[in-house]
Amino acid sequence: MITSSSSWPARYAGYIVLAVGLFCAFASRATDGTQLTGIGAVQQGTCGTGVASPQDSTWVLLNPAGILDLGCRLDISMEVFAPDRHNQPRGLFANPLAGDMDDTSMFMIPSMGYSRACSGGESAWGIGLYGVSGMGVEYSASRAVLPRLFLKNYDRRTEYSVAQMVFAYAHALGDTGWSVGIAPRLNYSMFKSDMLTLNFAETKGGNHWDDAYGAGFSLGLYKRWERFGVGMAYTSRQWMTEFNDYDDLFFASMDLPQMMQVGVAYDLTPRLEVVADYKWIDWSGIGQIGAEPIRGGFGWRDQHVIKTGVNWYALPGWTFRAGFSHAQSPIDERHVFANALFPAVTEDSVAAGVSWNVSETSGIHVTFTHTFENTLTDNGRGDLFSVLGKGSKISLEENEITVQYSYTFAAGARANRRLEWQREEYARENAKERS
């Protein structure tokens, strides 16, 4: 069992997290729409499943109520993310001279979190800095014929990113085994684009960075029995200021949508846990995103996401993970051409990861995630943008590797219970072998 530490790292780890600042702002990510499937290698190992199975301090973001079981720990991760995007413009307004346009880039996405139990395990607090949302492309040529021929090749690049600073507090509800959590969120977002406006001119922002600020909150509920766990987390709409340099492109602020995630976890054996979650993302409730393109929006629909995963504690000090996520694309066949610069069309992701406890206090985690290619073709049945861009295709495929380092100052209640459970199982197995 890991004991509590009074050394300076345990005292000041929260300040270390704050010192990272907004380095977490990043470019281009689009699996659950613009939302990350998971934060860090451990969470990514099950494709963001586990609202009922807290594993590390990234659960500050996923379910603040779950941090009560985590003890005191610091987690730092880096994700190397490589999306592969293709645009095939067609139709009356599309650019027949451009042919197929590809964009393959690589990005590095850092995150950091810290959680600490207090009041004899009756409460806990946590803090984290995360890149949570983003998208972006840079094609070689415009998707539309007019800027290609007459307007200096505008309408070919865009980039959008959001970083969050999250503060979380969890408290036990007496002796019931239930815990509740609340987590205020502070947001910083950046945007740049050379997109055409409705009057066929480049945005006045001129592909320069503009930023916006905002805030929201999340609420969590969690309970763990010996083998079974349930969890629920609600994240409010994240209200943002406007991108003033791009007010000729956006008619409202680029708020982040409200979300709901519920899940269960069950230990089949002391070494094998299965988890399953359902997640709802309210894209249609954000006017700037859900409105029809002819009104200045992108025509996105809500997403309903199913996530499943396993945590296999195969050997002492080793854990293997796997996960699957399915999320219907928020873009449908009526809005393909309007979303060529926002190609968030992926639906299915798989992940596999491994954790190695280097010592009683340190752990290293590595996860590989693949998001399968998905292609959509505009059917021309939407508004004017759809009619003019009928036949246009966009596709997206993603690969990423996430590496995480964890330092545990004091193990949480759940980790200690699982360790004792596994020790009992190992003892029984050894006794059988001797007999």
List pLDDT tens digits, range 64-112: 999 988 889 999 999 988 888 888 888 776 666 556 777 667 778 889 9
pLDDT, position 67: 93
pLDDT, position 127: 95
- Kindly state the tokens that stand for 48: 């963001």
Q: Decide if 107 is inside a domain.
A: yes
Reported as a pLDDT band with limits 50, 70 and 90, residue 405 is very high
- CATH assignment at residue 393: 2.40.160.60
With CA atoms as reference, report the closest residue to 414 among 244, 198, 223.
Answer: 223
pLDDT, position 418: 64
Q: Where are the alpha helices (DSSP H) in 75-179?
A: 145-150
Tokens 């055409």, residue located: 196
pLDDT, position 31: 67
List pLDDT tens digits, range 313-360: 988 889 999 999 999 999 999 999 989 888 899 999 999 999 999 998
Q: Decide if 8 is inside a domain.
A: no
Q: Decide if 14 is inside a domain.
A: no
Q: Decide if 34 is inside a domain.
A: yes
pLDDT, position 427: 66
Pair 162, 193: CB distance under 8 Å = no
Q: Decide if 11 is inside a domain.
A: no
* Domain assignment of residue 323, given as a range: 26-434
Using the predicted structure, report yes or no on whether residue 433 has a pLDDT greater than 70: no
Pair 168, 183: CB distance under 8 Å = yes
* pTM (2 d.p.): 0.88
Helix H or strand E segment including 283 = none
Domain total in the chain: 1
Pick from 3-17, 226-240, 254-268: least confident: 3-17
Q: Decide if 16 is inside a domain.
A: no
Q: Decide if 231 is inside a domain.
A: yes
Residue 252 CA from chain centroid, whole number? 24
Between residues 419 and 149, the one the model is more confident about: 149
Residues 6+ apart with CB under 8 A from 291: 251, 297, 298, 299
List pLDDT tens digits, range 238-295: 999 999 999 988 989 999 999 999 999 999 988 899 999 999 999 999 999 999 988 8
State the distance between the two ends of the chain, measured CA to CA, in whole angstroms.
29
Q: Decide if 2 is inside a domain.
A: no
List pLDDT tens digits, range 108-131: 888 999 999 887 779 999 999 988
List pLDDT tens digits, range 155-173: 888 889 899 999 999 999 9
